[in-house]
Copies of this chain bind each other. A is one copy, B any other.
Amino acid sequence: MAAAGPVRRTGSPGRPGYDLDSLLAVAVKVFNDKGYDGTSMEALAQRLGITKSSIYHHVSGKAELLELALARALNALFAVTTEDQVTSGRSIDRLEYLVRRSVEVLVTELPYVTLLLRVRGNTAVERRALARRREFDAFVSDLVVAAAEEGDLRPGIDPALTSRLVFGMVNSLIEWYRPRGGESVSELADAVVALTFDGMRA
């Protein structure tokens, strides 16, 4: 044989090749369009224009694709919780930074966060993702409690309810936000922070 290194098999001649990242991007799009439960490996292979065995070259199956996609969204969100501006300072400022960065993560990782927010817990992979989401929610809720204790919240604010409502607003972006040239992500994040921290009333 000629001096051939390992050759990436890409299905049939002329078909595009995929690395794991680009394969994952397409899989996530299909999961979001058709639902994870409603997507077969066969349908995935057809959409990718490659054979099923080409997918198995990268992952053990559909569940691993889901796990990788959910991990990408969760890791991006948890990475924010360890940034300097979230680990020191007054809790209200840490909370504001966390909300702002969460909007940015949601927009940057839109398809992955969309998939995460639609998870309902039908499989072990989904239940683990839900558990990590609850961990993130608890982190936010603790920050709201701390901000209240430091006297920086208006009286009568319920911390658990408030964190749910604020992230309800943030997460609702997956329903209507579509990246466009004109508007910047930071303007969007500013609007969410302004509304939830200072309100719209003059």
The answer to whether A125 has its CB under 8 Å from any CB of chain B is: no
13 new A-B contacts at CB < 8 Å, known A147-B200, A171-B172: A38-B38, A151-B202, A154-B199, A154-B202, A155-B202, A161-B191, A162-B195, A162-B200, A165-B191, A168-B171, A168-B176, A197-B200, A198-B199
Contacts of A24 in B (CB 8 A): none
The answer to whether A109 has its CB under 8 Å from any CB of chain B is: no
The answer to whether A152 has its CB under 8 Å from any CB of chain B is: yes
Contacts of A59 in B (CB 8 A): none
* Copies of the chain in the assembly: 2
Give 7 closest A-B pairs by Cβ, nearest first.
Answer: A168-B172, A199-B199, A169-B169, A198-B199, A197-B201, A197-B199, A168-B169
Contacts of A38 in B (CB 8 A): 38
Closest B residue to A161 by CB, please name it. Answer: B191
A151-B202, A153-B201, A200-B196 known; A169 and B175 CB under 8 Å?
no
Interface of A, secondary structure class, is helix
A153 to B194, CA, bound (A): 12
Binding site for B on A (CB under 8 A): 35, 38, 92, 144, 147, 151-158, 161-162, 164-169, 171-173, 175-176, 188, 191-192, 194-202
Contacts of A168 in B (CB 8 A): 168-169, 171-173, 175-176
Partner of A194, one of B156, B171, B176: B156
Can you list 28 A-B contacts with CB-CB less than 8 angstroms, sorted by A residue number? A35-B35, A38-B38, A151-B202, A152-B202, A153-B200, A154-B199, A154-B201, A156-B194, A157-B194, A161-B188, A161-B191, A162-B200, A164-B172, A165-B172, A166-B169, A168-B171, A168-B172, A168-B173, A168-B175, A171-B175, A172-B172, A195-B199, A196-B196, A196-B199, A197-B199, A197-B201, A198-B201, A199-B199
